[in-house]
Amino acid sequence: MQFPSSRHLVVPLVLSVVGPAFAQEAPVVLVSPVQKREVMRVSEFVGQINAIERVDVRVRVTGTLLKPQFTDGQRVEPGQLLYEIDPAPFQADVDSKKAQVESAKADALNADISFKRAEELLKTAAGTRANYDLTKANLAKADASVLMATAALENSNITLGYTKITAPIPGRIGRTAITEGNIVSPSSGVLTTIVRDDKVRALFSVSQREMLDYRKAAYTKAPEVRLRLADNSIYNKPGTIDFIDNVIDPKTDSQVIRAVFDNPDRTLVHDQTVRVLIEQAPEAPQLVVSQDSIAADQTGTFVMVVDGEQKVATRYVKLGQSRDGLAVVTDGLKEGENVIVQGMQRVRNGMKVNAQKAQAGK
């Protein structure tokens, strides 16, 4: 009697032992339900800060500049004296014009007396019409001389007033460009600049596509306007849009929008570059999924959904705004459906999985 070789006896024994031990198990994946939340629509633009009011201080007469009456960088109030030009020659001119006014008044008084005398004589045989007309004309000429002298005096007083340069607006003053002792004139340029910075404007440009998208959305709630500063921090005062330009820049196909911000701490400075954030609250809660659940291929953007039988299905979706790790889904999913947020690379369409709920924040 022949026995089978040991090789034939071992094979079925090994198969019977190792077969069940290597049976494939369903892969574990983490899932998160599709939820409804209010997700702010956020758009970001490059903007520039402009002061509400900004005045370049200049001289209006020629003369010697006296000592500036302010410290560079200090806050000033309307009417506060900033500069003074030596008033002596201007005061002398005013005094001269006053004398001319008095002289003209004296001439006018004499002309009035002569006219009245001629008027009385005309009623007698001693008077003539020619003398009457002459004195009447002289009186009119003398009265005109008084008006001219008075106007010249007023002009000299105005010019004298220009020797004192005061602050026209409240704000923070810059450094002086010209110091004491220099001869200045209207051609000397800007002496200094005053910027009113307790409130500022942010100017930014919005493309026509974004403007049209916003109008089509027909939001009933006003947007919130915020600023992102150079250190990536968010400015703590929200702003309001107060102006939309009525023309479009043909070079950029964009429209300028202006927002106003309170600036009590003077954090925002004229000509500063900022990022303007337009935050629009939705009209109703929207479906959202974790951004970890989103993938894409040549067909489009998709997520992997796990149904009640623990089977995987690929679902192509349309997305909207993304923020804080969440993406708005506008089409392709329903509230409560479970999407895979971890383990997508180990599964394929139609596969059965061991789905476990992801912890909050994952």
Q: pLDDT at residue 212 above 60?
A: yes
**Which parts of the chain fold into alpha helices (H)?**
6-21, 88-121, 129-161, 208-217
pLDDT in tens, 3-29: 444 444 444 444 444 444 444 688 898
Edge-to-edge strand order for the sheet containing 35-37? 35-37, 286-290, 326-331, 318-323
Q: Give the Cα separation of 169 and 53 in Å (integer).
A: 8
What average pLDDT is seen over the chain? 88
Q: Give the Cα separation of 157 and 91 in Å (integer).
A: 8
Q: pLDDT at residue 225 above 90?
A: yes
| 44 within 8 A of 274, measured Cβ to Cβ | no
In terms of residue numbers, what domain contains 294?
A: 28-39+285-357
- The confidence score (pLDDT) of residue 361 equals 55
CA distances from 287 to 128, 219, 292 (A): 107, 18, 15
Residue 310 lies in a domain: yes
Q: Which residue has the higher pLDDT, 145 or 40?
A: 145
Q: Give the Cα separation of 291 and 323 in Å (integer).
A: 9
* End-of-domain residue from the set 133, 161, 189: 161
Task: Count Cβ atoms below 10 Å from residue 244 Cβ, excluding itself.
Answer: 11
Residue 331 lies in a domain: yes
Residue 53 lies in a domain: no
Residue 290 exposed, middle or buried by CB count within 10 Å (0-12, 13-18, 19+) = buried
173: left (phi over 0), alpha (psi -120 to 50) or beta: beta
- The confidence score (pLDDT) of residue 360 equals 66
| 37 within 8 A of 288, measured Cβ to Cβ | yes
Residue 306 lies in a domain: yes
pTM of the predicted protein model: 0.65
Angle between helix axes 88-121 and 129-161 (nearest 10 degrees) is 160
Q: Give the Cα separation of 127 and 267 in Å (integer).
A: 84
pLDDT in tens, 265-314: 999 999 999 999 998 877 677 888 888 889 998 889 999 999 988 999 99
Q: 80-89, 153-162, 316-325 — which is least confidently predicted?
A: 316-325
Written as six digits, the tokens of 135 are 């004195």
- The confidence score (pLDDT) of residue 272 equals 96
pLDDT in tens, 75-120: 999 999 999 999 999 999 999 999 999 999 999 999 999 999 998 8
Residue 134 lies in a domain: yes
Q: What is the CATH number of the domain that holds 116?
A: 1.10.287
Q: What are phi and psi of 234, to 5 degrees?
A: -95, 125
Q: What is the CATH number of the domain that holds 293?
A: 2.40.420.20
Residue 13 lies in a domain: no
Q: Are residues 157 and 92 in the same domain?
A: yes
Q: Are residues 293 and 353 in the same domain?
A: yes
Share of the chain above pLDDT 90, in %: 62
Q: What is the domain count for the chain?
A: 2
- The confidence score (pLDDT) of residue 23 equals 46
* End-of-domain residue from the set 144, 161, 178: 161
Residues 6+ apart with CB under 8 A from 239: 202, 225, 226, 227, 259, 260, 261
pLDDT in tens, 30-62: 998 998 887 778 889 999 999 999 999 999 999
- The confidence score (pLDDT) of residue 75 equals 94
Residue 179 lies in a domain: no
Mean pLDDT of the 157-169 span: 97
Residue 220 lies in a domain: no
Output the DSSP codes for 64-87.
Answer: EB---SS-TT-EE-TT-EEEEB--
Q: Which residue has the higher pLDDT, 299 or 324?
A: 299
- The confidence score (pLDDT) of residue 58 equals 96
* End-of-domain residue from the set 129, 161, 193: 161
